[in-house]
Amino acid sequence: MKTRVLIIAWISFFAVGSTSNLWSQWIQTSGPNSGSILTLTASGKYLFAGTFFGAGIVRTSDSGTTWNNANNGLSGSIGATVVYAIVESGTKLFAGTGDGIFSSTNGGTNWKTVTSGLPSGTTVNAFAISGPNLFAGTSAGVILSTNNGINWKTVNNGLTNTSVGALAVSGTNIFAGTYGGVFLSNDMGSNWTKVNNGLSDTIIRAFAVIGNEIFAGTFGWPDTGGVYLTTNAGAMWTRVGNGLPPAEIHAFAVNGLNLFVGIDSGVYMTSNTGASWTAVNSGLTVSPSPYVSALGVAGTNLFASTDIVWRRALSDFGASDVPEHSQPDITISLSPNPTIGDITVHNPPTNTLHIIITNVLGETVRELSNSGAADFTLDLSTLPPGTYFARFEAQNEVITRKIVRE
Interval 133-177: pLDDT, tens:
999 999 999 999 999 999 999 999 999 999 999 999 988 899 999
Q: What's the maximum distance between 2 C-alpha atoms anywhere in the chain?
A: 83
Instruction: Tell me whether residue 323 is in a domain.
Output: no
Q: Is the pLDDT of residue 179 over 90?
A: yes
Q: How confident is the model at residue 256 (pLDDT cuts 50, 70, 90)?
A: confident
Secondary structure E strands in 8-66: 27-28, 36-43, 46-52, 57-60
Percent of the chain with pLDDT over 70: 89
Q: Which of 180-184, 233-237, 332-336 has the lowest mean pLDDT?
A: 332-336
Same domain, 290 and 390: no
pTM score, two decimals? 0.77
Q: Are 142 and 126 in contact (CB under 8 A)?
A: no
Same domain, 147 and 70: yes
What is the domain count for the chain? Answer: 2
Residue 243: give the domain boundaries: 24-317
Between CA 303 and CA 290 the distance in angstroms is 13
- Which of 288, 317, 346 is where one domain is finished? 317
User: Are 300 and 339 in a shared domain?
Assistant: no
Q: What is the mean pLDDT of residues 351-367?
A: 78
- Write down the pLDDT at residue 303: 98
CA 225 – CA 248 distance, rounded (Å): 5
Residues 159 and 221 in one domain: yes
Q: What is the mean pLDDT of residues 7-31?
A: 54
The CATH number covering residue 364 comes to: 2.60.40.1930
Number of Cα atoms under 13 Å in the Cβ half of residue 234: 23
Average model confidence (pLDDT) across the chain: 86
| Per-residue pLDDT at 325 | 38
Say if residue 208 is in the same domain as residue 77: yes
Q: Which residue has the higher pLDDT, 86 or 272?
A: 86
Q: Using the predicted structure, report yes or no on whether residue 16 has a pLDDT greater than 70.
A: no
Residue 249 domain-assigned? yes
**One domain, residues 268 and 361:** no
pLDDT band of residue 322 (cuts 50, 70, 90) is very low
Q: Are residues 82 and 146 in the same domain?
A: yes
Q: Is the pLDDT of residue 20 over 60?
A: no
- The two beta strands, 227-230 and 238-239, are antiparallel
pLDDT at 7 over 70: no
In a domain, 19, yes or no: no
Coil, strand or helix at 297: strand
Task: Residue 53: name the closest of 83, 85, 90, 96 by CA.
Answer: 83
391 — pLDDT class (breaks 50, 70, 90): confident
Please compute the mean of the pLDDT values over residues 213-234 and round it to a whole number: 91
Asked, for residue 322, whether it belongs to a domain, the answer is no
317, 343, 365: which is the final residue of a domain? 317
How remote is the C-alpha of 47 from its chain's centroid? 14
Does 245 score more than 50 pLDDT? yes
> How many Å apart are CA 77 and CA 369, to the nearest integer?
49
Confidence of residue 57 (pLDDT cuts 50, 70, 90): very high
The pLDDT of residue 311 = 97
pLDDT at 361: 65
For the chain, what is the radius of gyration of the CA atoms? 22
Question: Is 340 found in the same domain as 210?
Answer: no
- Cα separation, 173 vs 307, in Å, equals 35
SS3 category, 153: strand
β 112-114/124-130 pair status: unpaired
Q: What's the pLDDT band for 22 if we cut at 50, 70, 90? A: very low
Where does a domain end: 317, 346, 377?
317
Among residues 41, 114, 39, 127, the alpha carbon closest in space to that of 76 is found at 114
At 1, the pLDDT band (50, 70, 90 cuts) reads: very low
Same domain as 302, residue 165 = yes
* Cα gap 281→163, rounded to integer Å: 32
Are both 136 and 248 inside the same structural domain?
Answer: yes
pLDDT tens across 323-346, in order? 443 333 456 778 888 888 888 888
What pLDDT score was predicted for residue 17?
38
- Supply angle C-alpha 30, 32, 34, rounded to 5: 145
More confident residue, 241 or 5: 241
Residue 286 within a domain: yes
Residue 201 has pLDDT above 70, yes or no: yes
Q: Is the pLDDT of residue 192 over 50?
A: yes
Residue 310 sits in the same domain as residue 343: no
Asked whether residue 352 carries a pLDDT value surpassing 60, the answer given is yes
In this prediction, what percent of the chain has a pLDDT beyond 90? 56
pLDDT of residue 389: 81
Same domain, 177 and 295: yes
Which amino acid, residue 101?
Answer: I
Closest CA to 365 of 346, 339, 390, 343: 390
